[in-house]
Structure 1
Amino acid sequence: MTDSLQPYPAYKDSGQPWLGSVPRHWPVLPNRAIFDEVKDREHPDEEMLSVTITRGIVSQETLLADSSKKDSSNLNKSAYKLVQPRDIAYNKMRAWQGAIAASDLRGIISPAYVVMRLREDANVPRYFHHLYRTPLFAKEAERWSYGITSDMWSLRPEHFKVIYTPLPPPYDPAAIVRFLDHAHGRIDRAIRAKRKIIALLNEQKQAIIHRAVTRGLDPNVSLKPSGIPWLGDIPAHWEVRRLRFCIRGKLTYGANAAAEFDNPIWPRYLRITDFNGDGSLRPDTFRSLPPEVAKDYLVEDGDILFARSGATVGKAFLVRTNTVEACYAGYLIRARPNTSIVIPEYLFSFTQSTAFLRWKDSIFIKATIQNIGADKYANLAVPTPSIDEQQAVLAYIETAIAPLRTAITNLQRAMALLREYRTRLSADVVTGKLDVRAAAASLPATEPVASVLSVSPDEPDAADDPALEPEEAEA
């Protein structure tokens, strides 16, 4: 896609480290010369919008349909700000993470957001959309954001206005937008296709696990009714125990503390967002708690953490802390398996089964809010064979799903490379390192291409629409 692309004929130093050299004919101006801040309030009947890190500006209805985000439609919306098509909006506390975008929609957004309007009609808003969603701008936004900790960094309008931005002549950004929308569409479709394959492989993996942890390995085994609709028949020699009888001590909630420290010698503070889809810990989300705070919430190797609310409600994580001391946050519930009754890996495997999903669904049907507390987890029915049989089941599962796991890993790596290429291409094009004018002119006529990527549990967009801090609500 980029093999035939060349640099522009001549360059100049932009004077801005985050931009480097830019085409000679591109002015570089402070944002106060390009945008005006808009605070148009008192439009409570307009559609509610959110600025997301992964998808830009979307309606809250769309966001709620795809996640368990809090519905704000019943709030007093008189202070909410009107956004019109072509406006740039950003979340002050998340701009440095990419929560900034051009809007194609009319609606209202949280008072914690900032709305900027282009001064000149000739300017192309989607050029700024692509530019401001690059890691290059994210670092510049971070440089101009202020706060006691990273969780409180805020890019205020007066600081956004002093950031210098390229303002190419209209033909250049129009070509850039056309080229990037087309390129992103192709890349995103390739990623989406790989996601679909991964979903099918995960279904196969789940079916293998479900069969093994609810029926065992003997296809001719005698069965008996479990007495539990979502579980069905189980081997006649197995027992069904409530989770509270499979663990040592009680199910316990984690620390109710802010994730504001990153001292590497303190216990790591485990939160839902720290876990990858495969249960491994993300290196980029490290937070820690002082030892005196963490001491009552330390986890042991083999503990299982259950998510009790949010987009990952009902998800389980197997703790592996052979080399890292760690504690856990209040939105997680800890279960410490009694290894004379159940092997931790076996209990975790059960939480990956279809039966466990049916149990979660049965809980949600009875509740108005998707929340699973310790009392409900304590009553979870767990089919338990002998320890020897559990070990045999685990060995079988490991062998059976190994090829699927390898295939999923390879697909995930391919997706990561595509995302990396997408990011690098965007940065090179919007900062003028590559001239796409001829390439854009040769593209077939198509509709504007929006990103087809959606928020997934494996790529949490936790900062989409955070609760307002009192200080932020003054905006």
Structure 2
Amino acid sequence: MTFTTYPAYKDSGVEWLGKTPEHWKVVPAKRGISVLTDFTANGSFAALAENVEYQSSGYARLIRMTDLRQNLETDGIWIDESAYKYLEKSSLVGGELLMASVGSVGLIYLMPEVDYPASLAPNMYLLKTNSSLLSKFLYWSLLSEGGQSQIFQVATTTAQPKLNKDNVRSIVIALPEVQEQIQIARFLDHETARIDALIEEQQRLIELLKEKRQAVISHAVTKGLDPTVPMKDSGVEWLGEVPAHWIISQLKFNTTEMQTGPFGSQLHAEDYVDGGIPLINPAHMVDGRIIPDFQVSVDEETWSRLSRHALKAGEIIFARRGELGRCAVVSKDQEGWLCGTGSLKASLNSRLSSEYAYLLVTSKGVVSELSLESKGSTMENLNTETLGRVRLPLPPLSEQEAILEHVHEIAGQFAALMNEAEDGIKLITERRSALISAAVTGKIDVRGWQPPASSQAVEPAVAEAV
């Protein structure tokens, strides 16, 4: 889609803004808004939030900063009613603008002209616009590249950027007449929705590719690569038939050692140092990789005391709590790191490849079996005995290696397709951002734009101004 420019421009006097349409004004936000902070009398939010009388009496809902911590590439927030606490009474109206002191911004999506009792949490602002400024236009202006850049330039630098009311008022916006603001807001509502739909399609494609990849891998490691080979009943419900020459064996019969990490008095929080030898807990196992946190580590003296928990290359480390089946293969450069309190490690014998075991343990079938084995307890109680009872289909080692080679090839093909989709999302997102910035700074002229005939219904930006 191509757009025309305005017939005449003038220098805005603002370096980042450049030239603006001749009839537009360039003004600080304070010309068009008033900035309100929280409505509570004393700010004692924690005490009120836990007060049952307040929670049940129908008082105001608390709007918190977390409600605005959205991806700034998406438009706005939907206030989550489950996040509300009942506090002292005030009112928010659909279409008004909320802003967090860290710079996030979102519209209140409620029925127009309906007041909702609410209270703002600390570090939250309600931006009320006057008749010269459409709140939806201000919203898009603040989400534009220039708007976001200004927010972080004027923010007070502390532990994290923080805006006060004067910072908000000083933000510069390019301002056309109200009817033109309405048209620009309508245009951006429509076009960003269309772009978001494309992004959603790409995200769905990525999820489908992940599911397909997992299905292909699971089939390979449980059925083999030769569809003509004789099959037999495995005796395991989730597994069904397997090649006749494969064996079904519990994990414990294919390990030389299974050991949980240190617990109880063996390791305390005060033993942790920054930049020492990492401890590997469930949070450090991400998509089959070990990603350490060097703030969760120990010094040489503690390591020496806990050396029996040291990891060896080729071992598998499992999560004892959290996600069933979460595990990772220990690489050579991770040798010597420690199995953490929330983990257990297993050394495999020569009949089972570590990578093959990883693929089996992370398959849906084994996760289901782990779930059955853990029934009546919680994942926190998964131990070496429970894990050791899990039944696995084992082909000869040479066949395991052939299957792994096939899986790596398939995984690479799927990875290429997913990377292509990710690149598509990135390009579409960049276009979205550029379109918003171009529209709210007058670099494109959308005054003659009309939505397709199929979407002529009154849109939010129009409804707000009627």
Partner SS state of residue 142, structure 1: helix
1:158-173 alignment to 2 at 5 Å? 158-173=166-181
User: What does residue 200 of structure 2 align with?
Assistant: 192
Structure 1 distance, partners of 2:312, 2:158, is 32
User: What does residue 406 of structure 1 align with?
Assistant: 416
Looking at CA atoms only, which structure, 1 or 2, has the larger radius of gyration?
Answer: 2
Indicate which of 375, 398, 418 corresponds to 2:382: 375
User: What does residue 53 of structure 1 align with?
Assistant: 70
Structure 2 distance, partners of 1:404, 1:117, is 46
Q: 1:171 to 1:326 in 2, by over 3 A?
A: farther
Residues 92 and 114, structure 1, Cα contact 8 Å, conserved in 2: yes
1:386-405 alignment to 2 at 5 Å? 387-405=397-415
Q: 1:233 to 1:222 in 2, by over 3 A?
A: closer
Indicate which of 84, 104, 108 corresponds to 1:103: 108
User: What does residue 137 of structure 1 align with?
Assistant: 147
Partner SS state of residue 14, structure 2: coil
Q: Deviations over 1:247-286 (max 9, x none)?
A: 76425799989xxx9xxx99999999999989798xxxx9
Work out the number of aligned pairs and report it: 412
Residue 88 of structure 1 pairs with residue 93 of structure 2: no
Partner SS state of residue 78, structure 2: strand
Structure 2 distance, partners of 1:287, 1:112, is 32
1:212-227 alignment to 2 at 5 Å? 212-217=220-225, 219-226=229-236
Structure 2 distance, partners of 1:8, 1:272, is 61
User: What does residue 36 of structure 2 align with?
Assistant: 37
Structure 2 distance, partners of 1:125, 1:52, is 19
User: What does residue 119 of structure 1 align with?
Assistant: 129
Structure 1 distance, partners of 2:140, 2:384, is 44
Partner SS state of residue 11, structure 1: strand
Structure 1 distance, partners of 2:365, 2:439, is 49
Residues 184 and 422, structure 1, Cα contact 8 Å, conserved in 2: yes
Residues 279 and 318, structure 1, Cα contact 8 Å, conserved in 2: yes
Q: Deviations over 1:399-437 (max 9, x none)?
A: 344433332322222222111211221122222222222
Structure 1 distance, partners of 2:374, 2:459, is 39
Residue 211 of structure 1 pairs with residue 219 of structure 2: yes
Q: 1:33 to 1:182 in 2, by over 3 A?
A: closer
Q: 1:419 to 1:127 in 2, by over 3 A?
A: same
TM-score, normalization by structure 1: 0.66
Q: Deviations over 1:356-407 (max 9, x none)?
A: 554687699979xxx8447379834362625444323322222344433332
Report how far residue 237 of structure 1 moved.
0.9
Which consecutive unaligned segments of at least 5 residues does structure 1 have? 62-70, 451-475
Out of 200-209 and 190-199, give the one that drifted further. 190-199
Structure 2 distance, partners of 1:173, 1:273, is 47
Partner SS state of residue 28, structure 2: strand
Q: Deviations over 1:305-351 (max 9, x none)?
A: 75966xxx5584757988899999x9x95555525465443344235
User: AA paired with 1:222?
Assistant: K
Report how far residue 209 of structure 1 moved.
1.8
Residues 91 and 119, structure 2, Cα contact 8 Å, conserved in 1: yes
Report how far residue 120 of structure 1 moved.
0.8
Partner SS state of residue 413, structure 2: helix
Structure 2 distance, partners of 1:287, 1:169, is 53
Calculate percent identity across the aligned residue pairs. Answer: 17
User: RMSD of aligned C-alpha atoms?
Assistant: 5.0
Q: Which has the higher helix share?
A: 2
1:380-459 alignment to 2 at 5 Å? 380=387, 381=390, 383=392, 385=394, 387-440=397-450, 445-446=456-457, 448=459
Q: 1:364 to 1:383 in 2, by over 3 A?
A: closer
Structure 2 distance, partners of 1:102, 1:79, is 22
Partner SS state of residue 411, structure 1: helix
Q: Deviations over 1:172-205 (max 9, x none)?
A: 3212111112211222222222333333332221
Partner SS state of residue 426, structure 1: helix
Q: 1:137 to 1:4 in 2, by over 3 A?
A: closer
Q: 1:36 to 1:188 in 2, by over 3 A?
A: same
Partner SS state of residue 5, structure 1: coil
TM-score, normalization by structure 2: 0.67
Report how far residue 441 of structure 1 moved.
7.6
User: AA paired with 1:134?
Assistant: S
Partner SS state of residue 434, structure 2: helix
Q: Deviations over 1:223-251 (max 9, x none)?
A: 3323xx65666666131226996876425
Structure 2 distance, partners of 1:427, 1:358, is 49
Q: 1:4 to 1:301 in 2, by over 3 A?
A: farther
Which consecutive unaligned segments of at least 5 residues does structure 2 have? 41-53, 111-115, 304-308, 462-466
Q: 1:448 to 1:404 in 2, by over 3 A?
A: farther
Q: Deviations over 1:89-109 (max 9, x none)?
A: 23334x3xxx31111224647
Q: Deviations over 1:123-142 (max 9, x none)?
A: 22222222222344333333
Indicate which of 195, 202, 217 corresponds to 2:210: 202
Residues 32 and 162, structure 1, Cα contact 8 Å, conserved in 2: no
Structure 2 distance, partners of 1:420, 1:233, is 49
Out of 375-384 and 211-220, give the one that drifted further. 375-384
Residue 4 of structure 1 pairs with residue 21 of structure 2: no
Q: 1:291 to 1:210 in 2, by over 3 A?
A: closer
Structure 2 distance, partners of 1:436, 1:21, is 17
User: What does residue 66 of structure 1 align with?
Assistant: none
Residues 28 and 172, structure 2, Cα contact 8 Å, conserved in 1: yes
User: What does residue 47 of structure 2 align with?
Assistant: none
